[in-house]
Amino acid sequence: MTRKLARFIALFGGLVFFSTTSNAQNCIPTNIGGAVFNLACNQVCSTLVFSIPHIKGTSDYSVNSILYNPYPYNDPTGSQVTDIYVDDVYSRVINMPFAFCFYDSIFSRCVAGSNGLLTFDLANASPNPPVTYCGNSFQQSQPIPYISNNICSGVQAYYPKSSIMGMFTDLYPVGTASPPDRKIAWHVEGAAPCRKFVFNYYHVGMFGNGNYTFGGTNCNSLNPTTFQIVLHESTGIIDINIEQKRCNASGGTPANAILGIQDWTRLKGLAAPGKNATIWNESNTAYRFTPSGGGSRYLSSELLDMTGAVVSIADTATTTAGLLDVSFTNFCPPPGNNQYVVRTTFTACDNAGTQLISLDTISINRTNSLNATAFTTNTACGPPSGTITV
């Protein structure tokens, strides 16, 4: 699956023109693969600087906007969670395909709520759907972190322990309010130890926005809600991708929504800016929660030629929370078109002995041109008055 460039900085001590694509999926979403640089012939040596996720311990997190580039929302291999095609309830326990690091704990099972969140607290699991459910509150009146004792209440405000709120709001995933292709399901992308657990809410209705009808004019008919929660194996990274949230809950329920996370104690929490129990709408956006606690998991970043020889080792700096600047200083590529591989290594959050290696191919082209531009002014009649500026 092609993953486009999400965040990339290149500094060459001069003007550099580049284009990017991505054609590989790595353990760490470095998002620098496929870069193409064109250097003027007089640029003999340059400094390359890339911004990559700075993955640290999971005692704390930072949140950043990232390029919107979701996984499939309606994957045919997905496992549907039909338990929550009901208003304000939690699912049975879901056995995840891998262990996930979250707030200094490791979890391998979770529970999904019909109101747009996952929790690792299995006390919220519905014991015997469709006969007996645990309620998933539709109230989002308080910002996270928030503690209350109303577990399994669908009415009183309750934010579960160790929860990931992709779009915690009063969704209405029943058949009458959603299109026929509505689907709440999860699937796996990639291979161990770099898998992604992708949980999709696809074409889901919002409470108080009418019944779905083909050609209808209410919000559920025109703009059903779609988003996904992505959990990254071995790193603890969490992505939230939003295709669209245009409807707001109404009909006697709050229209607030939360996009954020909170820990088991419910004393720590982090929300995307402007999305902590507020009313908000947006489309084609994405957010990443990156572990930013103690102890960096970064080991090294090296520049290799196509024979595998190391030609430069990166220095590092931090200028933006959640990101690490890696720089290859005073690098002097030969003339012509040349490819290199950036090899970046981190340790896994669930096993320090496991190394996570990302390989990103870049191209550097030293051209025969100075990349100069010329401007001319034609002379007028009489004495010479024309100019040439280079």
Q: Can you list the domains of the chain with their CATH numbers?
A: 17-54+296-366 (2.60.40), 61-291 (no CATH)
Give the global pTM. Answer: 0.85
The CA–CA distances, whole Å, from 100 to 58, 108, 164, 263, 380 equal: 11, 6, 12, 14, 74
Give 197's strand partners.
188, 231
In this structure, are residues 72 and 54 in contact, taking their beta carbons and an 8 Å threshold? no
Residues with Cβ within 8 Å of residue 295, at least 6 apart in sequence: 56, 57
The letter for the amino acid at 286 is A
146: Cα separation from own chain's centroid:
24
Structure tokens at 94: 């879901």
Write out the chain's pLDDT in tens, 390 residues: 334 333 333 333 333 333 333 334 478 988 888 877 777 877 788 888 889 999 999 999 999 999 999 999 999 999 999 999 999 999 999 999 999 999 999 999 999 999 999 999 999 999 999 999 999 999 999 999 999 999 999 888 999 999 999 999 999 999 999 999 999 999 999 999 999 999 999 999 999 999 999 999 999 999 999 999 999 999 999 999 999 999 999 976 789 999 999 999 999 999 999 999 999 999 999 999 999 999 999 999 999 999 999 999 999 999 988 899 999 999 999 988 999 999 999 999 999 999 999 999 998 888 765 555 545 555 556 565 555 555
pLDDT for res 249: 95
Report the alpha-carbon distance of residue 250 to residue 86 in Å, rounded: 17
pLDDT for res 294: 92
The CA–CA distances, whole Å, from 123 to 92, 111, 119, 120 equal: 10, 9, 9, 9
Residue reference for tokens 């007996």: 132
Report the alpha-carbon distance of residue 390 to residue 241 in Å, rounded: 47
Single out the residue of 146, 161, 145 nearest to residue 268, CA to CA.
Answer: 145
Structure tokens at 205: 């209705």
pLDDT for res 27: 86
Structure tokens at 340: 């290199």
The CA–CA distances, whole Å, from 364 to 23, 71, 112, 294 equal: 17, 30, 46, 36
**HSE-up of 98 (CA within 13 Å, CB side)?**
26
Report the alpha-carbon distance of residue 232 to residue 189 in Å, rounded: 10
Report the alpha-carbon distance of residue 137 to residue 151 in Å, rounded: 9
Peptide bond into 193 cis (omega under 30): yes
Residues with Cβ within 8 Å of residue 307, at least 6 apart in sequence: none
Residues with Cβ within 8 Å of residue 333, at least 6 apart in sequence: 39, 46, 340, 364, 366
Strands 36-39 and 355-366, how do they pair?
parallel
pLDDT for res 21: 33
In Å, the largest CA–CA distance within the chain is 98
pLDDT for res 46: 84
pLDDT for res 43: 79
pLDDT for res 367: 74
Length of the chain in terms of residues written: 390
Query: Helix, strand, coil % (nearest 5) of the chain?
Result: 5, 45, 55
pLDDT for res 384: 57
pLDDT for res 49: 87
